[in-house]
Amino acid sequence: MQDSRGCPIRTTSPQALEHFERALWRMLSFFGDPVADLDAAIAADPAWSLAHTMQADFMLTLTEPALVPKARHALEAARPHLGHATQREQLHFAAAELALAGRWRDASALWDLALRDQPRDMLALICAHLFDFYRGDARSLRARVARVLPDWPADDALYPYVLGMYAFGLEECNVYPQAEAVGRRAVAGDAKVPWAIHAVAHVMEMQGRHAEGMSWLVSRHADWAVDNGLSVHNWWHLALFHLESLQTETALRLYDESIGGSSASVNLQWLDSAALLWRLQLLGVDVGPRWTALAAAWADPIAHAGYYAFNDVHALLALLGSGDAARADALLVAAAERASRAPREAAPDNQAMAVEVGLPMMRGLVDFSRGRMRQCIDRLLPLRGIAHHFGGSHAQRDLIDQTLLAAASNGVDCGVGRALLNERRCAKPLTPLTEHWARRVGVSTGSIQPD
């Protein structure tokens, strides 16, 4: 049999394929739980290895350490059925095994092989795309989708989701006008494509178009905000637009209503909470007991240290913000210990991320929280050119610059502050947030020259 995009599959059960396709749509759209649909696919055809493999894929793409045992169990359930799986399905299993072992780059290379034979293999495309993002591989975010996009007919039901991925890849490669155009095209029809909405929001964030960004997200509210796994992240983007205009009370209200507390339940959502509270605190906003609640909600960050450096950095923010110096130090020690292990005992991709970016950044943030501004600047400033190596987006990594501006505003190094502000002004209009940092650093906005 083949799926609706012509990819070979071993199941002969129409019911299994129907549930699988539904799960794939959920993975792309972030609406609902793909695992329940995959359970139904497995019930319809227990011997179809790809349904088991996709369960592992989905869990691993959440970067959630607590789900790793379940992902391993799903792959073990797939293993006995590989003998009669298609070559494509065997390739997917091998890629998932590599992802499970923390070899995200190697897994993406196998998904790329699958896409060369089957450019419309959407499972391979979305898995590789997400791990490109987690690895900070902006070039692959764009180029991988570009290599298959012409093979997708515009009337395919999943075509808007391919456009959404391409839009985000273009944005992370700083191709802003094309990224916005592709993102808007992705949502021009009936399909709800939160990833594309998010890509356009990224463009507006990078260009300092905070008023437009607010309007964009609010106008598409029904397509991303209700029962959607990306909603916390898009609420975070809306809060960033309010921060850019120094509407800190509104940003804090969004945190309380839609970002923090019960709204967040996994690392990918908790890190948005931590990132927003840190930015608010840098601006002098008293966030009250929210840090303590966030640190308490975070699922055992010390035990899970070393799984993904990007998550570790944000867990550290929560501990530092809550004033729990002992647990913050313990997290840093645990992350360093995991990174020092032999590659076979540690996730090799994360090991490189931690050593190059994650651990120096964590130490710089500890310096900042303890008033060692000179040391903070010395640690964080060299990371600016390589921070993408540990994942995230331009917007997320802007936390480094804002922390540096706050450190420089203490009179430690006004030259650093001036340089960062000049760079910021050349990239986007003079926003209230930029004016705030200029005042704090002691730089006249008239001396901040536009491009």
Condensed to tens digits (0 to 9), the pLDDT of residues 370-416 reads 999 999 999 999 999 999 999 999 999 999 999 999 999 977 888 99
- Note the pLDDT tens digit of each residue in 218-261: 999 999 999 999 999 999 999 999 999 999 999 999 999 999 99
- Note the pLDDT tens digit of each residue in 326-368: 999 999 999 999 999 866 666 789 999 999 999 999 999 999 9
Q: What is the average pLDDT across 275-292?
A: 97
* CA–CA separation, 348 and 105 (whole Å): 10
**Contact assessment for residue 258 and residue 235, using Cβ atoms and an 8 Å cutoff:** yes
Beta carbons within 8 Å of 166's beta carbon, 6+ residues apart: 142, 145, 146, 149, 182
Backbone angles phi, psi at 161, to 5 degrees: -75, -30
Q: What's the DSSP call for residue 228?
A: B
Q: What is the pLDDT of residue 344?
A: 65
Q: Is the pLDDT of residue 451 over 90?
A: no
Q: What is the pLDDT of residue 299?
A: 86
Q: What is the pLDDT of residue 411?
A: 77
For the chain, give the mean pLDDT. 95
Residue 384: Cβ-neighbour burial (10 angstroms; 0-12, 13-18, 19+): middle
